[in-house]
Amino acid sequence: MTSLYQTALGDDFERLSPLLRQFHREPCVPWQGCVDVSWPRQAMLRILLGLGRLPHEGQDRSLRVEVRENGAVEHWQRNFAGRLMASRQYLTRDGLCERFGPFTLLLESRVDNGELRQRSVRTRFCGIPLPAVLALQVGAREWQENGRFHFDVAIGVGNSPLLRYFGSLLPG
């Protein structure tokens, strides 16, 4: 069976590094590792992040990522030291989308030197398109280094950074 990312990336899927191909080809295998999470300095943004279902700020925190397939949809469960962040990824005629809570992001994905790079190109809130100034801006990079799957994800609104998390994972 062809995975979501094999379909989304087409022939470029085989250009991913081996660990990235394994992660995106075998979504039912849990991955574990460590992550650093940073928040912005602005007090109001920190309060809002604390109220949301987002990972808490900290360094060298445990992370477990499980992806389950349900038909053409991948259900992602990220456990940041006990703080859960769930999303669903699926393909539409426009491309790869990720939905978490009331937000749906259209992701532009490309493979570059074995790395997967993604960025959000459109945000919907409760199905309503948001203007760029209010849209979530997500940038993500995945790569293999020293036998580990590495990632770096930055989330912002307009030009304001909200959350960044980066770290590495291994299967099991």
CA-to-CA separations, 70 to 75, 93, 138, in angstroms, rounded: 7, 19, 25
Work out the pLDDT band at 41, boundaries 50, 70, 90. confident
- % pLDDT > 70, the chain: 100
Across 19-34, average pLDDT: 92
Q: Does residue 76 register a pLDDT over 90?
A: yes
Q: Higher pLDDT residue, 47 or 59? A: 59
* Torsion sign (Cα): 81, 161, 144, 94: positive
Work out the pLDDT band at 111, boundaries 50, 70, 90. very high
Query: β-strand 58-70 against 115-125: which pairing, if any?
Result: unpaired
Q: Give the burial class of 165: count Cβ atoms within 10 A of its Cβ; 0-12 exposed, 13-18 middle, 19 or more buried.
A: buried
Q: Does residue 23 register a pLDDT over 80?
A: yes
Q: For residue 25, report the phi and psi dihedrals to the nearest 5 degrees.
A: -95, -30
pLDDT tens sequence across 60-69: 999 999 999 9
Identify which of 103, 113, 83 has the alpha carbon closest to the alpha carbon of residue 15. 113
Across 12-26, average pLDDT: 96
**What pLDDT is attached to residue 13?**
98
Q: Which residue has the tokens 């094999």?
A: 6
Domains observed in the chain: 4-171 (2.40.128.20)
- Report yes or no: 67 and 97 within 8 Å, Cβ to Cβ: no
